[in-house]
Amino acid sequence: MSYSIEIKRQVFRIKQSKCCRFSELYGFMLACGAFAEPGMIKIAVKNEDFFEYYVSLLENICQIDLKAKYVTVKGSRQVTYILQILDPDTALPIAERFGYPDRLESFANELSECCMRAFIRGAFIATGFIADPEGRYCLELTIKDPLATPIFLEAMRKLKVNPKCGKRAGRDVLYLKSADEIGDFLGNIGAKKSAFEYANAEIEKTILNSVNRVMNCETANINKLIDAAQKQRDAILKLKGSGYRGVDESLREAAELRLENMDMSLTQLGKLHSPPLSKAGMAHRMKKLIELAANLPDPPEQR
């Protein structure tokens, strides 16, 4: 089951009062574009349970029997369940019952908060998409009726969710990309468990990011150590090539230790020295070796 369907099932048939059922059905139908063509009503969805539930809700609210108006269409991958009311004598009274389109604009303003949530929930069940929070964060509502887009935007803003609006294949798409906002949206439509999952995923990602930052920092330090050791080796090889000219015995021991143990830190090298040297003592010797090498003329280029 996709993550979207899982969430939809969580909020589908949620316990609610009568006023909310109407709003949820309206949100569902508007997002589906049920009224988008004047004089007819069409609902087309891929999920049989959602289809049957909302059609029977519509029958119930409008006191009408719609059984004869169902069709199912078998696509190449999925069946589409379609309710099509083509005769205006049936379609128009239904549209009127919802106040479509005359009272559409004022609809969001007339809604109480419980109904506003139900309205958005219906739209989400109809055409919503949500990505699994393990990956990217994304929630989308495709609105198949352009007249309804501002109403959904308004309702969501009233619930303190501020989606962005884009277009895909000529349709309006309202979308959220931050875990916080998606969590708020899910909380509003009653998907408390998933709201929690989204919040959790965000926390996990924040922790992972800071672990990565620390690791990157350590890698940078290691790279710095490697650079330093290579610089020391180059200097020592140059001195060695000149027969350690002007290099006293104690410096020479330090030089040989470095060449033999390129992977060691200065502290570790100091411990191998006899007598043992501190990190600072070893660092001083390395610095001296680099200075001496810098004063040597460069060896003639090999031909």
Element (H, E) at 56: helix 48-62
Q: How far is the CB of 112 from Zn ion (least distance, A)?
A: 5
Residue with smaller CB distance to Zn ion, 110 or 260: 110
Q: How many CB atoms lie within 10 A of CB 111?
A: 21
Q: How far is the CB of 151 from Zn ion (least distance, A)?
A: 16
- Which residue, 75, 85, 87, is CA-closest to 45? 75
Structure tokens at 235: 């200097």
User: Distance (Å, rounded) from C-alpha 105 to C-alpha 39?
Assistant: 19
Q: Give the dihedral sign, CA 204/205/206/211.
A: positive
Q: Is 129 left (phi over 0), alpha (psi -120 to 50) or beta?
A: beta
Residue with smaller CB distance to Zn ion, 111 or 143: 111
Amino acid identity, residue 248? D
Q: How far is the CB of 188 from Zn ion (least distance, A)?
A: 13
Residue with smaller CB distance to Zn ion, 114 or 211: 114
Burial class (CB in 10 A: 0-12, 13-18, 19+), 243: exposed
- Which residue is associated with the tokens 């739209």? 123
Ordered alpha helix ranges (H), 63-191: 88-97, 104-110, 113-127, 149-158, 179-189
Amino acid identity, residue 293? A
Phi, psi angles (nearest 5°) of residue 42? -140, 125
- Strand, helix or coil for residue 168: strand
Binding footprint of Zn ion on the chain (CB under 5 A): 19-20, 114-115
Residue with smaller CB distance to Zn ion, 111 or 236: 111
Residue with smaller CB distance to Zn ion, 22 or 198: 22
- Strand, helix or coil for residue 16: coil
How crowded is the C-beta side of 139, counted as CA atoms within 13 Å? 26
- Strand, helix or coil for residue 100: coil
Residue with smaller CB distance to Zn ion, 114 or 262: 114
Q: How far is the CB of 185 from Zn ion (least distance, A)?
A: 18
Residue with smaller CB distance to Zn ion, 20 or 148: 20
- Which residues make beta-bridge pairs with 259? none
Q: How far is the CB of 31 from Zn ion (least distance, A)?
A: 18
Residue with smaller CB distance to Zn ion, 20 or 195: 20
Q: How far is the CB of 119 from Zn ion (least distance, A)?
A: 9
Q: How far is the CB of 27 from Zn ion (least distance, A)?
A: 12
Q: How far is the CB of 111 from Zn ion (least distance, A)?
A: 8
Structure tokens at 11: 């909020």
